[in-house]
Amino acid sequence: MKKLRRILVAIKNPAARQQPAVRKAAQLAKALDARLELFHAISSPVYLDAFVAQGMTLQQTRRQQGDRLTALLEKHAAGLRADGLVVDVKCEWDYPAFEAVIRRAVRTRAGLIVAERHAHRHVLPWLLRFNDWELLRRSPLPVLLVKRPQPWRKPAVLAAIDPSHSYAKPARLDAQILEMASEVSTALGGQLHVAHAFPGVPIPVDLFAIPVATARGIELEAAREARRKFAAQVDGSVASRARRHFVTGQAIDAIPLLVRRQRAGLVVMGAVSRSGLRRLVIGDTAEQLLDALPCDVLVIKPASFKSPVSGRARGVQLVPTPGY
């Protein structure tokens, strides 16, 4: 995996005084000697003829709003530059916001997107478009969702892997997770942990169909095989010296419990995007865990993932002027 050389921070509200995503992206950028970009997508609609009523052209409206928001980004960048960071700022008319962020990150060859997690609990995320959900689903680049405003102080970094490759996850994805988690934990001076949640094996409800002793034997053998795969995956990686946690249970329950027990500040995990009815039935582990985890989450896609986001910016979102 290439080292992180450029980090893009998606700024939702440039006027906000507190920018947790900027703070944590800056920590990473300083530790990794990476370049930082503060990016804001101007995705709010412009009403047709509204700017004419103010005696302005569309170009003037775009320039005025763009200059105002760029100036706000420059204020955030000034403090970071004073701390020795190389920081770019960019405002761009494009929509929807999550697509604009992905387009910009791909175009500038960023290695990581950093964004704040949506403030509310995600209800029916497959029906409603939340920018954080859509970044996770559609970005081909790793996405760090910041959930906690406090800066990292030598955090425990937990890499959640799945050597059994559930739901057809590519085998290479675990290696990507371990490489990223190792790089981040080293940069932040934290301790690296690696975890695998083993869900067990389904046993027939009808006890007459299989003897209890046989069922127990199947469970034990499956657990031994899962432990073997887990050990082999970690032993052959850059995370071979990490603390290891083989936990029993569904990931949605076991991983948050482990995070609280180890007081982890960041979880690194993989995600495989799906679409259609299968998505509604199965869901993605990363999406199920997003609300449950009490810490920041860094989500990685397989190298083979192809983003559905077009590379062409949409520009200004013009809508009819509402009637009175």
What order do you get walking across the sheet with 296-300 strand by strand?
87-93, 35-42, 6-10, 112-116, 143-146, 296-300, 264-270, 156-160, 191-198, 243-248
Alpha-carbon torsion, ordered 123, 289, 141, 153, to 10 deg:
120
**What is the pLDDT, as a whole number, of residue 282?**
33
Domain covering 1-130+318-324: architecture: 3-Layer(aba) Sandwich (3.40)
Q: What are phi and psi of 281, to 5 degrees?
A: -80, -45
Give per-residue burial for 53-73: e unless 16+ CB within 10 Å, then b: eeeeeeeebbeebbeebbebb
Where exactly are the structural domains of the chain? 1-130+318-324, 141-305
141-305 has the same fold as 1-130+318-324: yes
**pLDDT in tens for each of the 324 residues of the chain?**
568 999 999 999 999 999 999 999 999 999 999 999 999 999 988 877 767 667 778 788 889 999 999 999 999 999 999 999 999 999 999 999 999 999 999 999 999 999 998 665 555 444 444 678 888 889 999 999 999 999 999 999 999 999 987 655 677 999 999 999 999 999 999 999 999 999 987 666 565 567 777 777 888 999 999 999 999 999 989 999 999 999 999 999 999 999 999 999 999 999 876 654 444 333 456 677 888 999 999 999 998 888 989 999 998 888 777 655
Integer Cα distance of 286 and 298 in angstroms = 9
Match domain 141-305 to its CATH number in 3.90.15.10, 3.40.50.150, 3.40.50.12370, 3.20.20.70: 3.40.50.12370
Residue-level pLDDT at 134:
87
